[in-house]
Amino acid sequence: MTVLYFTDVDIGSSAGQGIGTIIFMGGPAIAAITLLRYRRASIRKGTGLYRGRIRWNVLAWIAPGGLTAAMIGVGLALPDTTFTTEYSAFLLELGFTEAEAVDTIAELEQTGVPVFVLLTGLGLVLGGTLFALAALGEELGWRGLLLTELAPLGFWKLSLLTGVVWGIWHTPLIFLGLQFPDEPVVGIATMTVATVALSPIYTYLTVRAQSVLAATFFHGSFILGVFTSVFLLNGSELVISSFGVVGIVAALFGIVACMVHDRLLADEQITTSGPLSPWSRTEA
């Protein structure tokens, strides 16, 4: 935030918040790398920076699409939420001005391809590239070093503690207007509940992939969660935000999906109280 202040960036604008978020997201990676260098330990081993299992990395990249669909379904089931199609909300989240967003949507509509499909494709491309690069700044800390350090606690305790730290860490950004500009104090609590709910999904994908890249791709493609603002109309961001009520409930469905796979389909269960060995096979 200090960098933004001295470079005269308006942190109250969408672009300023976007730039601030990207800078802020680098903090956990800097902390993780600094600590590992101080210990003279391997950064790759300490953060799970391996290629891992490709199919799980790919699944992590596209999984936010399914999670977003669940969010929209949850939102439409709420009594005070109605359906809308405000596609410009997606582009506004990417830093477009209102005029640019309107013009771009008009151009996309002329292609003959559904705007939803085009924006989903754009979200996945950005999620797997530019946004993934930004997300790596967080994930080297959360699903990298922190997962490695807390692995002896087992899946659930690890996910809970990581989710709490991850949520509270967003406090400065929320006070600057990210996600919940009208209710920042309640927003901090809501954000933390959401990150706790999402944390087991991140943990599961990361351990299955045996790579922090899975969490990185999932985090990057979570930009698709902006579709809740495209399709849901409600008076409160605390409800329709991907880190609000709809995001929290959808995350619970995601946890159930992980548990079903773990208990019924996987060769080795990881959603137990036993210690995790997230990188053991990769290292071998």
pLDDT at 1: 47
81-112 burial by CB neighbour count: b if 16+ within 10 A, else e? beeeeebbbbbbbbebeeeebeebbeebeeee
User: Structural domain boundaries of the chain?
Assistant: 2-283
Instruction: Give residue 283's pLDDT.
Output: 61
Question: What's the pLDDT at 118?
Answer: 97
Helix (H) or strand (E) holding 232: strand 232-233
Residues of the chain with pLDDT under 70: 1-22, 283-284
CA 129 – CA 123 distance, rounded (Å): 10
Distance CA 106, CA 178 (A): 28
Residue 174 burial by CB count (10 A; 0-12/13-18/19+): exposed, middle or buried? buried
pTM: 0.92
Give the tens place of pLDDT for each residue, 155-212. 999 999 999 999 999 998 888 777 898 899 999 999 999 999 999 999 999 999 999 9
3-class DSSP assignment, residue 244: coil
Q: Find out whether 58 and 194 touch, Cβ atoms under 8 Å.
A: no
Contact 172, 11 (CB under 8 A): no
